[in-house]
Each structure stands twice: as C-alpha cells, then as structure tokens.
Amino acid sequence: MRIRELAIPGSWEFTPDLHGDERGVFAETFKSSEFEKIVGRGFELLQVNTSTSAAGVLRGIHYTQDPPGQAKYVTCVRGAFLDVVVDLRPGSPTFGQWDSVVIDDVERKSVFLAEGLGHALLSLEDDSTVIYLCSLEYSPEFDRDLDAFDPDLGIEWPKVDRYGKPLSFTRSPKDAAAPRLADLKLPH
C-alpha cells in the first residue's frame, strides 16, 4: 500500500496494491497495522455508511462539531468521486485550506480525514458508490455544514465528469443553504 499525506495535516491518501487475474481484482483497502504505523493512531469503527450518487451530485461540505469530532475513511467501490478535505480546526495553520483526491473503482484509493476536518464528495459518474467508515455514530446534534461554493474557500470543482461530459451540480436543500466560512461559529 502506498500512503501519502495530503496538504491538510490529519488527512492521507491510501493507494492499495491491486492483485488481478482472470477472476478480477483484489485489494486490501484498509489494514489497521499499516494505518496505525503511518497515522500514529488507531481507528475505532462505530458506523459504516454507503452512498450512491448520479454524476454532478455534490454532498457536503459536512463536518462534526469537535469535540467529539468524527474521523472518516472513505473508499469508492463503483464509479468516481472528487473527495475534498477542508481544514476547519480553529488555530490550525491550514485553517480554511483544502485538498482533494479522485477516488474511483480503478485505482481504489481511499482517503482518511481526522476529526475537525470538513468533507465533501462530488460524483464524477452516474451510479458512483462510496463507502465510508466512521469513528462516531451519526449524531444530529453535532452535525454541521459549510457551503461548498464559498468563494473564501476557492475549491476548484471540476466542470466535467469522468468522461469529459459537462457537469451540472445537484445539492440537497440543506447543503445549498449551508453557511460560509466567515459565518461559522467555531470554538477558539
């Protein structure tokens, strides 16, 4: 497995070794010992989510009030997504900055993001499916949102899907009404 720390401390890209033959492909997409060696901590799994999206569906930016915070390990099992990580940790030298990784069903990359980081997924193909492992069960009282199109963040969203076809963004009403970074009331 190849592991690369992203530009946002507390987030990593994991690229598994793919083992293929006439039967298909096998990959270890998460291995606790490798994870702990690189990240320097364990990952306690409390919930697993699966989401399928049409091309252009943008989910997020979502984050969990920290504390308690929620860490995520995200893997695409079908199709392709742009996975975006945003630093929302007050006092962090990279606060308000972002990084992204294309996760898909070819390279089978995964993204880990620690507590305090925001997360968004943009589907780059119809019927794209993602699975994410979560360190905290869904708790609506801690659930928070941030506007993915906030110009202060300056996220460079792709204009075309995986095949070069123009994307039309689709967001939930909740995500479309999310506050901007300047309006967040984060603890100091």
Catalytic residues: 62, 132
What is the rounded CA–CA span in Å between residue 11 and residue 3?
11
User: With contact defined as beta carbons under 8 Å apart, do 74 and 82 qualify?
Assistant: no
Separation of CA 38 from chain center: 19
Residue 77 Cα distances to 14, 90, 128, 144, 185, angstroms:
14, 33, 8, 26, 35
Separation of CA 144 from chain center: 15
Measured over the CA atoms of residue 106, residue 175, residue 96 and residue 71, the dihedral's sign is negative
What is the rounded CA–CA span in Å between residue 108 and residue 55?
18
Concatenated DSSP letters of 116-161: TEEEEEEE-STTEEEEEEESS---GGGEEE--TT-TTT-----SB-
Residue 114 Cα distances to 16, 60, 69, 155, angstroms:
20, 16, 8, 20
